[in-house]
Amino acid sequence: MSYRIDCLQYANWSEKIFRQMREGGVDAVHVTVAYHETFRETVLNLEAWNRWFELYPDLIVKGQLASDIDVAKDKGKTAVFFGFQNPSPIEDDIGLVEILHTLGARFMQLSYNNQSLLATGCYEAEDPGLTRMGRQVIREMNRVGLVIDMSHSADRSTIEAADLSQRPITITHANPHCWQPALRNKRDEVIRAVTQNGGIMGFSLYPHHLMNKSDCTLESFCDMIADTVAKFGVEHFGIGSDLCQDQPDSIVEWMRVGRWSKDIDYGEGSANAPGFPAMPDWFRDNRDFGNIETGLRAKGFSDAEIAGLLGDNWYRFFQSNFTPQTA
């Protein structure tokens, strides 16, 4: 059985999007439930998801284990897995790592763009690496089965996390820096550290991470995938689209600024164009996953390789890393 899994979206969720996921055959999706929220605010976001599960039981189901994807797929639904793009939900309390895993969280970034209590974000001028708390939190995340995500973290912090963690880590949504030199994209030494330690990286469709941004072609995107997997191994990659469908432009301010600054920062590549960039015409929403499959096939990828990139690799990763560590 093959799967179609998107390991990062931050959409403005609605019945329309849930139905589009079904039209696109998306079996599972990792959704952001916190950017800068405190623990209590994150719980409110989880409550909102519980309501969506109640309202649309024919379309979505809460995912906690890889096996939940099989149940969802069998019933024509999408399994929804929760994650944080910032460690703010644990505040300064390491005990909340286990609490949040119990509530359903399965991914947590150790930093967003700034320095956090755990690690350095990719927008900081200096990267001193993991903090003392960061090292402790990695150990606790390993223990309970909360996956370490370094998508927005700086290079040294990411390499240290990959080497220190006793379980594989992820970069759920980014692309190679050598293809598109965005601050958020990853240099080869970072990708190597993650993959050689058994980790997995999701290729991003967010225009600021793409060559030529919104005008990126499907051929260019698939060429990038081909070059990257040739270096590091096809089994270490999937899709993490970073799709922000139907979000109002005002949400960019929350993503970039949160509460830490009075200045407005719309992120790299968009200082003169606030708001979300237009998606490439070959990937507008969840219904377009088939275009990626078509593009990969045109590049000579085998059926097994395509299945791995579109979801099977994530499925295997979920199987191994969402449950508590065994002795």
Spell out the residues 6+ positions from residue 309 whose beta carbon is closer than 8 angstroms to its own.
225, 229, 234, 237, 238, 239, 296, 301
250: pLDDT confidence band, cut at 50, 70 and 90?
Answer: confident
Dump pLDDT digits (tens) for 36-65.
999 999 999 999 999 999 999 999 999 999
Taking each continuous run of H as one helix and of E as one strand, the counts in the chain are 12, 9
Given this model, what pLDDT does residue 271 score? 46
Tokens of 7: 């390991």
326: pLDDT confidence band, cut at 50, 70 and 90?
Answer: confident
- Rounded Cα distance between 186 and 151, Å, is 9
Q: What is the dihedral of CA 158, 111, 26, 195, to 10 degrees?
A: 10
Tokens of 248: 């109002």
- Rounded Cα distance between 129 and 279, Å, is 33
The mean pLDDT value of the chain amounts to: 95
| Residue 138 near residue 164 (C-beta atoms within 8 A) | yes
Spell out the residues 6+ positions from residue 138 whose beta carbon is closer than 8 angstroms to its own.
110, 130, 148, 161, 164, 165
Given this model, what pLDDT does residue 283 score? 98
Dump pLDDT digits (tens) for 1-35.
899 999 999 999 999 999 999 999 999 999 999 99
| Residue 147 near residue 183 (C-beta atoms within 8 A) | no
Q: What is the total residue count of the chain? A: 327
β-strands 237-239, 60-62 pairing: unpaired
Tokens of 244: 């922000």
Dump pLDDT digits (tens) for 192-223.
999 999 999 999 999 999 999 999 999 999 99
Structural domains of the chain, ranges and CATH numbers in brackets: 5-321 (3.20.20.140)
Beta bridge partners of 237: 201
- Rounded to two decimals, the pTM is 0.96
- Rounded Cα distance between 308 and 313, Å, is 5
Dump pLDDT digits (tens) for 291-312.
999 999 999 999 999 999 999 9
Backbone angles phi, psi at 29, to 5 degrees: -145, 140
Dump pLDDT digits (tens) for 107-119.
999 999 999 999 9
- Rounded Cα distance between 118 and 107, Å, is 15
Q: What does DSSP assign to residue 187?
A: -
163: pLDDT confidence band, cut at 50, 70 and 90?
Answer: very high
